[in-house]
Amino acid sequence: MKKIFVTRKLLKENEDKLKELFDVTLNANDKIYKPEEIIEQSKGFDGILSSVTDPINADTISKLSDSIKIIANGAVGFGNIDIKAAREKNITVTNTPDVLTDATADIQILLLLGASRKAYEGRLAAEKQDWKWSWDFLLGKQMSNKRLGILGMGRIGRAVAKRAKAFGMEIHYHNRSKLSSELEDGAIYHNTLKGLFEQSEFLSVNCPATPETTKIINKETLGYLKKNTVIGNAARGDVVDDDAMVEAIKNGTVFAYGLDVYNGEPKIHPEYLKLKNIFLLPHLGSATKRTRWDMAYRATRNLEQFFSGNKPQDQVN
Ligand code: DGY
């Protein structure tokens, strides 16, 4: 039996399945291992089942035991792993696309709504029990019939578009390349980020974290937005320059910001915790039982395919 090192505690059903197929070492206390601990504890294993919380950079990969041939990341994003360094060391990396598309798109709508309709301030007022209905109490910005800009029109971006259409929104997007008309499904393509930002009244951030997208939302690009734009980020904290975002919120470019992901998670930029028009969630995009089960199952299937001599379905490098 192949030996698999599992970095985080999974749902019991997923752990049971892994135990049937592999000689697994689990993490019953769900400790988040430091890179040195991953290197040390995975010595002599054949593969690793990792999670978004494991930073596996080039240095860590270079120190991994030569016996490790695959890292199956239990996430669609794989910005936590240096896939080039892995390839150079002949380590296959896989992710878990598709299975979390719906859950993440749902959260993206929650972020846009929570931010635009002042859900956080509403909750604070309700908790203090010092509120009364009045004509101008906590007036938000309505999503219906607005223009939604989607940055990154992959599977999740398209699932957000589908939901947003039910709000009567007009969908615009920017991607590296224009999609087929079937995938576009009526959305309007902008070949520059500037073009997209200039049109957006709401902006949904759905691009993956890559070297090219790191801090792609920064002082300059935020400057392309109209006043009072609502932004939701269910992608990665890395794509946003937080200081520039705070400034854009304070100067009124951004009406409200909803986010589920952070630079240097679980840390959160201190200013985000002070501003009332920020709607925060702690990386809940894929947090439904169904989705988490599917993600771990898909990572397990990638390991199975790999060790039975096939190319895993979700190989990314
Ligand atoms: C992913 O799959 O990339 C998610 O962020 C995990 O919750």
Overall average pLDDT of the 27-56 stretch: 98
> Using one digit for the tens of pLDDT, what is the confidence trace for 235-275?
999 999 999 999 999 999 999 999 999 999 999 999 999 99
Check pocket membership of 76 for ligand 1, CB cut-off 6 A: yes
95-132 pLDDT tens trace: 999 999 999 999 999 999 999 999 999 999 999 998 99
pLDDT, residue 130, reads: 85
Ligand 1 midpoint to CA 77 (Å): 6
Q: How far is the CA of 95 from the centre of ligand 1 (A)?
A: 10
pLDDT tens string 15-31: 999 999 999 999 999 99
The phi and psi torsions of 293 (rounded to 5 degrees) equal -60, -45
pLDDT at 314 over 90: yes
Q: Is 79 in the pocket of ligand 1 (CB under 6 A)?
A: no
In angstroms, the first-to-last Cα distance of the chain is: 25
Provide the whole-model pTM.
0.96
The alpha carbon of 64 and the centre of ligand 1 are apart by a number of angstroms equal to: 24
Residue of 10, 93, 100 to test ligand 1 pocket, by largest number of atoms within 8 Å of CB:
100
> Is the minimum distance from the CB of 52 to ligand 1 under 6 angstroms?
yes
Number of other CB atoms surrounding residue 86 within 10 Å: 22
Could you give the C-alpha distances from 197 to 133, 149, 200, 205, 302, in angstroms and in order?
Answer: 35, 7, 5, 11, 38
Measured distance CA(65)–CA(45) in Å, rounded = 8
User: Residue 163 — very low, low, confident or very high, per pLDDT cuts 50/70/90?
Assistant: very high
Tell me if 169 sits within 8 A of 146, measured CB to CB: yes
Question: How does residue 183 score in pLDDT terms, banded at 50, 70 and 90?
Answer: very high
What is the DSSP track for 240-253?
A: B-HHHHHHHHHTTS
Centroid of ligand 1 to alpha carbon of 68 (angstroms): 23
Query: How far does the centroid of ligand 1 lie from the alpha carbon of residue 129, in Å?
Result: 36
Residue nearest to atom 7 of ligand 1 (CA): 286
What kind and span of H or E run contains 70?
strand 70-73
- 286 CA closest ligand 1 atom index: 7
Ligand 1 contacts CB of residue 81 (under 6 A): no
CA proximity to 203, closest of 243, 154, 256: 256
**Which residues are tagged catalytic?**
236, 265, 283
Please indicate whether residue 216, judged by its CB atom, sits closer than 6 Å to ligand 1: no
Size of the chain in residues: 317
Tell me the best of 94, 104, 107 to mutate to test the pocket of ligand 1, counting ligand atoms within 8 Å of each CB and taking the most. 104
Which atom of ligand 1 is nearest to 284's Cα? 7
Counting from 1 in the atom list of ligand 1, the atom nearest the Cα of 74 is 2
Q: CB under 8 Å to 74, separation ≥6 — which residues?
A: 8, 10, 49, 50, 51, 52, 96, 295, 296, 298, 299
Q: In percent, how much of the chain has pLDDT > 70?
A: 100
CA of 66 from ligand 1 middle (Å) equals: 27
The arithmetic mean of pLDDT across residues 73-90, rounded, is 97
User: What percentage of residues in the chain have a pLDDT greater than 90?
Assistant: 100
Average pLDDT over residues 137-145: 98
Look at residues 160, 162, 156, 152 and name the one whose alpha carbon lies nearest to residue 185. 162
- How many angstroms separate the CA atoms of 34 and 59, rounded? 13
> Average of pLDDT values for 207-225?
97
For the range 301-305, what are the long-range contacts, defined as Cβ-Cβ under 8 Å and sequence gap of 24 or more? 302/70, 302/72, 302/94, 302/96, 303/2, 303/4, 303/21, 303/22, 303/47, 303/49, 303/70, 303/72, 304/21
